[in-house]
Amino acid sequence: MRGFLASSIGVTCAAALALPLTPPALAATARPVPTTEAATAARPAPHAGTPEPAMTARRGAEPYASGSTQSLPLEPLTRNRATPSASASAAAEQGLSRRAVRRFSLVGVIWDDPHAELHGRVHVRTRAAGTGTWSGWQDVETHNADHAADLGTPESTSGRVRGATAPLWVGDSDGVELRVRSELKGTGGRSIAVAAPSLPSGLRLELVDPGEGDEALPGGPVDSPRTGGLNTEASAATDASAANADLAPLGATEITALSRAATEREFYTLRAGESVDRKRARPYVGPRPRIVTRRGWGANEGLRERKFVYTKKVKAAFVHHTASGNKYNCSQSPSLIRSIYRYHVKSMGWRDVGYNFLIDKCGKIYEGRAGGVARPVLGAHTLGFNSNSMGIAVIGSYGAKKPSSAAVKAIARVTAWKLGLYRMNPRGKTYLKSAGSNLYRKGKKVRLNVISGHRDGFKTACPGRKLYGKLGSARSKAARYQGR
C-alpha cells in the first residue's frame, strides 16, 4: 500500500481483503452472578456509527458475558434525610452503597453532558474476587474534558459522547462502593459558607470486564457487532490488520523491530510516489520499534466504528498518562488496554480508543486507534490539537510516581520512528492550529515542542508532573535514535 502519507481527513481504508483472519475464536464462558446483585435492565447497544437516543446515557447494563460493562445509576447519599438540608446534600453527594456485583477490573463514572464538569471528588473501594478483601478508598481522577475529540468533528457531535472521569484499574473484583461529592474548587472539602456546585446529571458507575484476549478475536460470541453478524466483525478485524500491511503480515499479533538500515529502506518504500531527496546519506528516522498490534492485545473490532479517519500528517506527539493507577503488572497490560478501549467506546461514546499508541511500565509499545501505526490516524487524545498530531499514553498515573526508564525509552523509540517518517525533529518546534481548548482559542496557531505534554495544549495535570519532567530526556533520546 504505497503513497499512504497523502491520506486526508475522512478517507476510509481500502476494501477488506477476502482472506479472513484466523484463528477461530473460543466460546465465551459467563461467570456466575452473585445472588445479591441488584438487577439492571439490559439491552444491546446500537452500532457506534448510529446516533443513540437522548436517554441512552440512562441505559442498563449489557447482557453479561466475559468482556462487558455494567452501568449502574448513582443514588443520593444523605447523612440525615430528616434535616432541612437533605435536598442540597443529595445534589452534592451521590454514590452507591457497598454491594456485590458481577466481576470487573476497571471502574469509571460517566454523566449525560460531555461539556459539564464534575467539580468534586470521586472515591471508590472494591472487593477482590479472589480473596473477598475490601480495598481502602481510592481516588478516581475527575479528568474533565481534557482527552476528547476536537469540537465540531463528527466524533464529538455524534450524540453519543458523555462526560466521564478517568478510568481506574482495580483488578479482578466482585464488589464495589462509591462516593461522589461535589466541592468548590480549591477548598479541599473544607466547610465554607458558599454552597458547593451541583453534580452533573445522569451520573452512572461503569464497571468494565475486559474479557479474555482470545474471546475478543474475530468470530467470538461476545460483543458481536452492533449491526451485522460475525462476518462483519471478522471483516472489521481484517481491515484493522490490513492497515498495517506494509509493515506486517495479515493477522500479525506484533510488528517486529527493524534495524536502522532496514528502517531506512522501509522509509523510501513507504514514501513511494513522493518527492524524497535520496541524495542524503540517510533519512532522519529512528529504527522501527516492536509494536503489539490490536490483534495482539485482543481488540474486539466489533466495538469501534468501521471507518478509519486520517489527518494530513504528523507534526507533533502529545504524551499522556492514562491516570488509571499503577497497581498493575505488565502481564495485565493487554487486559488493561481492552478495558480502556471498551470504556472509551461503550461508556464515553467515542468511535475508538482515543490514543494512537499506549506504553506500559515495562516499555512495551501497543497500537492504539485503528488505521495503521505508520499512518496519520486522527485520534481523540488532546482536545484542540488532534489534527496533524499523535497521542501516546503511558499506562499509569505519574503525578507523584516517576515513570520507569523503560517507558521513557519507549516514548523516545516510537517518536523517533513515527515522527521520522514525517521528517520531524524530536528536539524541534512546530506550529499547530488550535481547534479550540481551554488554553487556546479556535484558529490560533500555537508554537509547540514536537514532543509535547498534554498540558502544553490543554490546561490539565496530564501527563502528570513526574512524566512531564522526563520529556526533555525523551526528546534527546529520540533525536539520537534519528541520528541527529
The 10 Å Cβ neighbour count of residue 130 is 10
Provide, for the chain, the percentages of residues in helix, strand and coil under a 3-state DSSP scheme, each rounded to the nearest 5.
20, 20, 60
What tens digit of pLDDT does each residue of 143-153 get?
Answer: 766 677 878 88
For residue 55, count CB atoms less than 10 angstroms from its CB and return exposed for 0-12, middle for 13-18, buried for 19 or more.
exposed
Output the CATH code of domain 54-211: 2.60.120
Which is more confident, 215 or 483?
483
What are the contacts of 461-464 at 24+ separation with CB within 8 A? 461/399, 462/146, 462/147, 462/320, 462/321, 462/323, 463/319, 463/320, 463/321, 463/394, 463/398, 464/321, 464/323, 464/397, 464/398, 464/399, 464/400, 464/401
**Is residue 106 a contact partner of residue 340, using CB atoms and an 8 Å limit?**
yes
* % of the chain with per-residue pLDDT over 90: 63
Q: Which CATH class is domain 4-16+218-481?
A: alpha beta
Per-residue pLDDT tens for 37-85? 333 333 333 333 333 333 333 444 565 556 899 999 999 986 554 444 5
Domain ranges of the chain: 4-16+218-481, 54-211
- Residue predicted with more confidence, 49 or 194: 194
Say what the pTM is. Answer: 0.82
pLDDT of residue 65: 54
Report pLDDT for 4: 47
| CA distances to 5, 225, 301, 323, 409 from 306, in Å | 20, 10, 8, 28, 33
Could you give the CA distance from residue 39 to residue 444 in angstroms, rounded to a whole number?
50
Q: Where is pLDDT greater, at 215 or 392? A: 392
Q: Binning pLDDT at 50, 70 and 90, where does residue 6 land? A: very low
Whether 4-16+218-481 and 54-211 share one fold: the answer is no
pLDDT tens digit sequence for 257-287: 999 999 999 998 887 756 555 545 578 999 9
* 323 and 143 Cβ atoms separated by less than 8 Å: yes
3-state secondary structure of 395: coil
Highest mean pLDDT among 19-28, 206-215, 471-480: 471-480
pLDDT, tens only, 207-240: 999 998 644 444 333 344 444 456 777 899 999 9
